[in-house]
Amino acid sequence: MTLFLGLGIAGVVLLALSLIFDGILEGLFGGVLDGLFDGLLSLPVIAGFVSMLGFGGAIVLGTTGVGTFAAVVAGVVAGLVAAWLTWKFSQALMRDQTNATPRDEDLVGSAGSVVTSIPANGYGEVLLRLGGHVVKLSAKSPVPVERGTEIWVEATLSTTSVSVRPVER
């Protein structure tokens, strides 16, 4: 029983360490294992196997009178199921990709509106959409632009300011 509980606790400790050191087994041996097992030898998968081997074996040994061999077999089966589920969940999480982070250059050509009047060659403020969010930026224009006017972004001057021109219809 002590051996099974020790394996279970070791698996939980290994799982905690995998939060810091995940990917280290795949990177060993100069990348020879990279892609070979498709993440099957990752620390979370091994930790899931070891902990369920230990705790599953301890449960079977403590609740039934079948003996050590049957407890080991039950623990191995539980460990394989836990390892497979961990592997599948980690693959699903790795496939979950997000859109690219918006950059300043993505503002060029976008439309917006003036919220603080812009004097000629001076600064005002505009509202623009960047990555689905409304952002308020400083704006400079060679001509005066009144509040509420629709504008186009011609260039980004910095991370917080843009060069704009009024939309002509």
Please provide the size of the chain in residues: 169
What integer pLDDT is reported at residue 71 of this predicted model?
92
Would you state the structure tokens that stand for residue 25, as one six-digit string? Answer: 């087994």
- Residue 143's contacts (CB-CB under 8 Å, 6 or more residues apart) are 120, 165, 166
| pLDDT level of residue 33 (50, 70, 90 thresholds) | low
Between 19 and 8, where is the model more confident?
Answer: 8
Rg, the chain, Cα only: 29
8 A C-beta contact, residue 96 and residue 48: no
Q: Is the pLDDT of residue 11 over 90?
A: no
113 closest CA partner among 126, 98, 100, 102 = 126
Tens-place pLDDT, residues 114-158: 999 999 989 999 999 887 788 999 999 999 999 999 999 999 998
At 49, which amino acid appears? F
Please report, for residues 32, 50, 89, 154, the alpha-carbon distance to residue 79 in angstroms, rounded to integers and kept in the order given: 26, 6, 15, 59
How many other CB atoms are found less than 10 A from the CB of residue 39? 18
Please report, for residues 59, 90, 92, the alpha-carbon distance to residue 96 in angstroms, rounded to integers and kept in the order given: 35, 10, 7
pTM above threshold 0.75:
no
Between 39 and 52, where is the model more confident?
Answer: 52
127-131, Cβ contacts within 8 angstroms, sequence gap of 24 or more:
128/153, 128/162, 130/102, 130/106, 131/99, 131/101, 131/102, 131/106
